[in-house]
């Protein structure tokens, strides 16, 4: 099995586990697995030069990292903007 296949299938498995953990409300393990999956899929898509997948996985990874930082380090509740007015 070559490196591209290992990256691809490990990344997809991590995304599926992250989605399962999200549906079961297992926090923050879901975010860690979604970050890992997006990062592995991003590396894989760069290696195979699929630029649409690079953009999708790069944006997903940025969203996941922002959410992790927002909830962990900035200590802002998710409904911050709803209660602002």
Per the structure block, which two tokens stand in for 40?
A: 């592995």
pTM over 0.75: yes
Q: In this predicted model, which residue has the larger pLDDT, 74 or 43? A: 43
Residue 73 has pLDDT above 80, yes or no: no
Tell me the pLDDT tens digit for each residue of 10-51.
999 999 999 999 999 998 888 889 999 999 999 999 999 999
Q: What is the DSSP letter of 82?
A: T
Could you give the 3-state DSSP secondary structure of residue 14?
helix
CA 17-74-64 angle, to 5 degrees, is 25
- Determine which helix (DSSP H) or strand (DSSP E) holds 11, and give its type and residue range: helix 3-23
Assign 3-state DSSP to the chain and report helix, strand, coil percentages, each to 5.
75, 0, 25
């Amino acid at each position: 099995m070559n490196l591209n296949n290992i990256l691809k299938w490990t990344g997809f498995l991590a995304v599926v586990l992250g989605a399962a953990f999200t549906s079961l409300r297992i926090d923050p393990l879901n975010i860690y697995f979604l970050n890992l999956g997006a990062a592995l899929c991003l590396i894989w898509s760069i290696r195979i030069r699929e630029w649409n997948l690079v953009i999708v996985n790069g944006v997903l990874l940025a969203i996941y990292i922002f959410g992790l930082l927002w909830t962990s380090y900035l200590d802002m509740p998710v409904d911050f903007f709803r209660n602002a007015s």
